[in-house]
C-alpha cells in the first residue's frame, strides 16, 4: 500500500526523536550528577575543615583552661602552705588567748572582783589576758601582709577578728546615745593608735626567732620598764579606775570583747578540742548597775552580738 511508507517514516522519525530526547535527558542528568558530586565534595571539604578548626579551637581552649586550673590549684596550695607556716602557730595561740580572756571577763562579772592594776597579780594577769589576743591578731596581720590571704578563709577571719576587736574599744556602736559618752578623753574608750601601741608593746622580737607575744615572766619585767609603761599608759590608766559600776561603758566594751573571743573559739576551736561555751550576756550587762543599760538591756545585748557580724 502506498500509504504505509509515510507511516513508517513518521514512526522512525518519532523513534529517533525519542531516543534523542532520552540521550539529552541522560546527558543532562549525568552533568547534574557530576556537578552535584563536585558540590558535595566541596561542601564536605569545607565541613571537614570547619570541624578540624573547631576541634583544634576546642582542644586549645580546654588545654588552656586545664592549664590555668592546674596553675591556680598549685598557686593556692603553695600559698596555703606559706600561710600555714607563717600563721599556723598564731591561730592556736589565739584560741588559747581568747578562751582565757573570755573566762576572765565572765568571772569578773559573776564572781568576786579584785582591782586591776599593775600592783597586784590579778591586775597584771588580767592586763596580760586583755592584750594577748590583740597582740596575736597584730602579729597575724603582719605575717599575712606578705602573702595572698584570700586563699585561706581562716586567715581572713584573723584580720576580721582584729578589726572587730579594735572597733569594740575605739568605736561608737556599743555606746551611742548613752549620756556618759565622752570622746574627748579616754574615760571609757581607748584611742585607736593608743590601743595599737599597747598591743605592739606586748610583742617581742628575738634576734634569732620570729616575733611573738610576751611570756608571763617577760610581761612582769616589762611592767618595770618605762618604755612599756608609756606604750600601754592608756590601757593601764583606764583599767586602774575600772569597775563595772564606775565605768559601765568600758565594761560593756569588755563584755563585747569577751563575746568576740568566745565566738572565735566556738567557730575555730572544735578541731583542736576546744568546747563550745555560751557567755551569760544578760547577767554580765546587769553587773554594771547602770540605769541606761538596765532600762535598755535588749538593745545593749543586740549591740554586743552585732560585733560578731561587723564587716572588714
- The model's pLDDT over 121-150, given as tens digits with 9 standing for 90+, comes to 999 999 999 999 999 999 988 877 655 556
Answer whether residue 179 is part of any domain.
yes
Rg (the chain; Cα; Å): 42
Range of the domain at 285: 87-309
164, 303 contact by CB (below 8 A): no
pLDDT value of residue 309: 81
pLDDT value of residue 171: 94
Instruction: List pLDDT tens digits, range 116-127.
Output: 999 999 999 999
Residue of 38, 24, 260, 255 whose CA lies nearest to 160: 260
pLDDT value of residue 76: 55
Answer whether residue 72 is part of any domain.
no
Answer whether residue 91 is part of any domain.
yes
Burial of 229 (0-12, 13-18, 19+ CB in 10 A): middle
**CA–CA dist 305, 49 (Å, integer):** 66
Task: Identify the DSSP state of 247.
Answer: S
pLDDT value of residue 52: 83
Answer whether residue 151 is part of any domain.
yes
Mean pLDDT, contiguous 10-residue spans, the chain (312 residues): 56 66 76 79 80 78 67 56 68 95 96 91 96 95 67 77 95 94 95 97 90 94 95 96 96 98 94 91 96 97 89 56
Answer whether residue 34 is part of any domain.
no
C-alpha cell of 213? 607575744
Count of all residues that appear for the chain in the document? 312
In three-state secondary structure terms, 203 is strand
pLDDT value of residue 71: 55
pLDDT value of residue 82: 62
Number of structural domains found in the chain: 1
Answer whether residue 205 is part of any domain.
yes
93, 210 contact by CB (below 8 A): no
pLDDT value of residue 35: 82
pLDDT value of residue 225: 94
Answer whether residue 263 is part of any domain.
yes
pLDDT value of residue 45: 79
pLDDT value of residue 83: 59
Q: Percent of the chain beyond pLDDT 70?
A: 82
307, 260 contact by CB (below 8 A): yes
**CA–CA dist 21, 10 (Å, integer):** 16
Cβ-based neighbours of 293, under 8 Å, separated by 6 or more: 178, 248, 252, 285, 300
Answer whether residue 196 is part of any domain.
yes
Amino acid at each position: 500500500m502506498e500509504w504505509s511508507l509515510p507511516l513508517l517514516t513518521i514512526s522512525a522519525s518519532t523513534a529517533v526523536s525519542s531516543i534523542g530526547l532520552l540521550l539529552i535527558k541522560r546527558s543532562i542528568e549525568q552533568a547534574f550528577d557530576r556537578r552535584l558530586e563536585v558540590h558535595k565534595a566541596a561542601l564536605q571539604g569545607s565541613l571537614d575543615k570547619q570541624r578540624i578548626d573547631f576541634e583544634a579551637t576546642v582542644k586549645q581552649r580546654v588545654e588552656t583552661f586545664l592549664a590555668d586550673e592546674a596553675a591556680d590549684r598549685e598557686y593556692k596550695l603553695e600559698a596555703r602552705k606559706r600561710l600555714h607556716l607563717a600563721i599556723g602557730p598564731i591561730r592556736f595561740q589565739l584560741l588559747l588567748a581568747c578562751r582565757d580572756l573570755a573566762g576572765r571577763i565572765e568571772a569578773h562579772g559573776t564572781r568576786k572582783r579584785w582591782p586591776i592594776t599593775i600592783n597586784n597579780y590579778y591586775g597584771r594577769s588580767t592586763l596580760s589576758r586583755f592584750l594577748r589576743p590583740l597582740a596575736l591578731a597584730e602579729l597575724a596581720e603582719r605575717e599575712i601582709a606578705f602573702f595572698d590571704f584570700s586563699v585561706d578563709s581562716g586567715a581572713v577571719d584573723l584580720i576580721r577578728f582584729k578589726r572587730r576587736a579594735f572597733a569594740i574599744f575605739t568605736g561608737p556602736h556599743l555606746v551611742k546615745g548613752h549620756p556618759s559618752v565622752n570622746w574627748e578623753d579616754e574615760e571609757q574608750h581607748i584611742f585607736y593608735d593608743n590601743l595599737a601601741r599597747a598591743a605592739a608593746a606586748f610583742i617581742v622580737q628575738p634576734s634569732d626567732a620570729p616575733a611573738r607575744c610576751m611570756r608571763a615572766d617577760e610581761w612582769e619585767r616589762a611592767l618595770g620598764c618605762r618604755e612599756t609603761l608609756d606604750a600601754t599608759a592608756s590601757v593601764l590608766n583606764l583599767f586602774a579606775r575600772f569597775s563595772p559600776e564606775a565605768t559601765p561603758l568600758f565594761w560593756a566594751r569588755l563584755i563585747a570583747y569577751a563575746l568576740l573571743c568566745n565566738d572565735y573559739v566556738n567557730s575555730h576551736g572544735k578541731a583542736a578540742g576546744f568546747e563550745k561555751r555560751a557567755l551569760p550576756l544578760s547577767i554580765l550587762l546587769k553587773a554594771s548597775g547602770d540605769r541606761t543599760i538596765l532600762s535598755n538591756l535588749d538593745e545593749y545585748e543586740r549591740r554586743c552580738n552585732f560585733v560578731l557580724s561587723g564587716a572588714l
